[in-house]
Amino acid sequence: MERKIKTTIFLSLLVACGAETRMINESCYGGFKNAKKEVLKNDISSPYQLAIDYDTNTLFFSYTREDSEKSTFESAYINLKTNEFNIIKGIKGGFANAIDQENHIVYLGGENGIYKFDYKTNLAKHIDGTSGKIWQMFFKKYLYYTTYPEEEVYIFKNGQSYKVPQLSHTRGMLIAIDNADNIYFSNSSGLFICADISNITNIGDYNINGFTSDVNGNLFFSTPNGIYAIDSNNKSVKQLVLIDDIYGVAVEHNGNIIYASEDSIVRLEPTKTQR
């Protein structure tokens, strides 16, 4: 019953804007107005929490598996060169994903803590000393993560978890860190930037369902009907493309956008003249 309730809350959060169609809106911005659309994986329910391991060109994500009695969350990945799809074993309620690109470590979040993924065995191994239901993760020097339903923000370093002190008095559902170590986070009130504990600023009333960064550390986020870039220099947001029914986003090393919809994972590749 608890799993069904959590699944229902998860889906309601993602589709809060109630989008029906799946088309690239012609009023989009940036170089993706006439982008080529390639479906990488279809017939997959509610893919979420996209993260790319640039070293292996592998996209990690979670999805919802339905059976006759209950819904469960699974961790999975796609090889972006071959489109090979695999489910990750050994994790309980796999839901969140983050990559330490420098040290080539794939972190996975489940309903009982944090795991590391082993490519050789295709297994996730639980990290001792971690617990709680992990909602989202983001790696920048250290591993940051949020918990559900508390909406608390933690940092995991040197084998220990600590609450992020700057956010100890506010809720955080999703979190990202830019190259200047500014903390961006979102909750039901919108998108915020935190420079220190006394300097938290709202920069938009966005219904965010996914944060990501590109190979250079630039930040992006998705809402149920659009994909946006964050300009860390002036703390502003730029709309890249309007697409209905988005559940999450990632950016490939060459700048292509990958997004998740209700039942598929799609690549957007701008034309050469738009790059």
pLDDT tens column, 90-130: 999 999 999 999 999 999 999 999 999 999 999 999 999 99
Q: pLDDT tier at 156 (50, 70, 90 boundaries)?
A: very high
Given a contact cutoff of 8 angstroms between Cβ atoms, the answer to whether 65 and 47 are in contact is no
Dihedral of CA 191/145/116/179: which sign? positive
- CA nearest 23: which of 32, 31, 15? 32
pLDDT tens, position by position, 186-211: 999 999 999 777 789 999 999 999 99
Q: Give the closest residue to 136 by CA, choosing from 93, 184, 174.
A: 174
- What number is the average pLDDT over the span 68-84? 89
Provide the token pair at 119: 């490519």
The CATH number for 223's domain is 2.120.10.30
Q: Residue 229 in contact with residue 204, Cβ under 8 Å?
A: no
How many domains, the chain? 1
pTM recorded for the entire structure: 0.87
Span 142-159, mean pLDDT? 96
At which residue do the structure tokens 């996730």 appear? 124
Predicted pLDDT at 11: 44
**Domain interval for residue 215:** 2-274
Q: Is the pLDDT of residue 25 over 80?
A: no
**Token representation of residue 217:** 């550390």
